[in-house]
Structure 1
């Protein structure tokens, strides 16, 4: 994740989207080294005779022992079918995947916290209406629902994070609803109500800071789900379009080459995706253990 944040500062290929294509070195195995000779084109030199006005063309003479300069590059993870550095594309692809997942989770947190707070605090018809909406979204398959939204809105970053955020907000809303229902029975909320504080102040200034821990844990867990959904959409060709790299479209491109014997290159993006999702699950569990007093005592 740190490598993805640094991005172009550490990638061997620093062109836009790491899209330097060298078909001559396609399908290189990991830790392969390729050397390139620099071709200096020396044009003809011309001069004009001042007396006759005739133009003479001369070619520079090459030194006998002169050796052409060359540069060598190490491809740590090999190259793809277009000869592009796989390590560079994975770093930038992870960066785009994390960017989409971050905005999707932020979108889901805003919707989930707002609706969950209103449902838990006011109850009654508001609670029933929001619970009905949560039930409807829970009944829809996440990947198929996001699939439909992307097809309708277009294959761009905005449509991606909105479609993913809409599919995962219900979990956050259900969690916040339960927490608010518990907190509003506490003495500090009753005291704030007796003092005449407005419901918006009680909700967003008094209650929400006291339930921020579980919200953070749920957001970390949703981050892993957002990464998985984005990769799934990109794998099906509904994410960001080439040459922009993401983990999903890199995996899809390498998957098609697995049948041609390029097994190692096809496994590398899948391993990166699994490790990325696993890392956020570990972060979520660690944060939960630190926040939950009962678990930490056990």
Structure 2
């Protein structure tokens, strides 16, 4: 029977059904974020295929589309390229309510909302060069419907620009999780380094680093991130650094306290007696013994980073259009909360709430599993 510490931690964590559900939810989000364009209804780059005729349509809306132009110059990208960056559309289509074919002419009634639309004439030869008769493949109507007509259902509706809301929500997962991950890695690198140095050496080194931590700690996180964003500029990559530089203090304070408690124990004294360097003593002997509390605070910081990113995107400092972000989606649609299209802002808000809640319950589950309740770990 495996009685390793990691096995015991996993058994204790697994008993917490809420934390386990949070972990499963996060793993599902990660899978959806990685697959990205492969599972999105709209696989155009940034899910930015705009069709203003069908703007603000309710969830479950179904439309018939007619292809009116083909773009033969658009190359079909490979599997991984499509998964990462999407596929440019190779045709242009319009939503229609009806169509009919009379000779060499196609008469289509375009969907333009509640307003009445007149029929528009199109050349059958231009729209469908393959619709030639006689043909063993079927009649002109059958060929035209096969090559130029398709239906699409918008499961979560469309936004104010007629873009598929589900596709943009899925792509927003990449922004939130990638910002959270990189920000946590940055905060761990800075926080663990400064906290370990302050806790191990003490004295003036500890006083100087503690003073710096207190200065950063006293600044409101959102204002600090905004200030850093002003210095680095607006953009997707700048937000990684800005959020990471604002969340390292929690890690540093935790590591400092843990290192101060561990540096006097027997195995650390033995490492010093054997002549091991300070770097090796900290990395090989101290930090592995405080991995649990660090993992807990990292999980909590992941949730904080997502909230900071969405707040910055709402204010216009985060991911820039047309890249979808949950915060920018709320910014574009919050005015519709009091109208009949509240779902436009509620759905990304729910995505933020559920993701942050999942990371919080994961952090609580890890805290209980590692048994760090009595230590300086806040969730």
Relative to the length of structure 1, the TM-score reads 0.89
Q: How far is 1:64 from its partner?
A: 7.9
Q: 2:161 aligns with which of 79, 82, 85?
A: 82
Sort the Cα spacing of 1:216 and 1:34 in 2 relative to 1 into closer, same or farther, 3 A: same
Give the structure 2 partner of residue 42 of structure 1: 125
The 1:11–1:171 alpha-carbon spacing in structure 2 relative to 1, beyond 3 Å, is same
**Does 2:296 match 1:221?**
no
- Please give the root-mean-square deviation of Cα atoms over the aligned residues, in Å: 2.1
Q: Which runs of 4+ in 1 moved over 6 A?
A: 60-65
Quick check: 1:230 aligned with 2:296? no
Q: Which structure shows the higher helix fraction?
A: 1
User: What is aligned with 2:240?
Assistant: 161
1:271–1:129 Cα change, 3 Å: same
Alignment of 1:60-79 (within 5 A): 66=141, 68-69=144-145, 70-79=149-158
CA offset at residue 96 of structure 1?
1.2
Give the CA deviation at 1:279. 0.5
- Cα separation, 2, equivalents of 1:258 and 1:134: 40
Matched length: 281
Post-superposition Cα deviations, 1:124-156, rounded to whole Å, max 9, x if no partner, equal 011000100110011000001111111121112
Answer yes or no: is 1:242 the counterpart of 2:317. Answer: no
> What is the alpha-carbon distance in structure 1 between the residues aligned to residue 339 and residue 155 of structure 2?
21
Map of 1:244-283 to 2, 5 A cutoff? 244-283=323-362
Note the 1:96-175 alignment, pairs <5 A. Answer: 96-175=175-254
The answer to whether structure 1 residue 19 and structure 2 residue 98 are counterparts is: no
Aligned partners of 2:367 and 2:33: how far apart in 1? Answer: 25
CA distance in 1, matches of 2:286, 2:176: 33
CA contact (8 A) 1:217 1:285 kept: yes
Q: Secondary structure at the match of 2:303?
A: helix
**Shift in Å at residue 157 of structure 1?**
2.6
TM-aligned CA deviation for residue 92 of structure 1:
0.4
Q: Which residue of the other structure, out of 174, 199, 215, is the alignment partner of 2:278?
A: 199
Aligned residues of 2:176 and 2:306 also touching (Cα < 8 A): yes
Compute the TM-score of the two structures, normalised by the length of structure 2. Answer: 0.70
Structure 1 position 286, deviation (Å): 1.2
Distance in 2, matches of 1:61 and 1:203, equals 80
Query: What is the distance in 1 between the residues matched to 2:343 and 2:239?
Result: 29
Could you say if the C-alpha distance between residues 206 and 18 of structure 1 is closer, same or farther in structure 2, counting changes exceeding 3 Å? same
Retained in 1: the 8 A contact 2:367–2:373? no
Structure 1 window deviating more from structure 2 (255-264 vs 66-75): it is 255-264
1:29·1:265 contact (CA, 8 Å) conserved in 2?
A: no
Offset, 1:293: 7.3
Contact 2:330 2:344 in 1 (8 A): no
Displacement of 1:38: 3.3
Cα distance in structure 1, aligned partners of 2:221 and 2:342: 30
- Point out where structure 1 has 5 or more consecutive residues left out of the alignment: 45-59
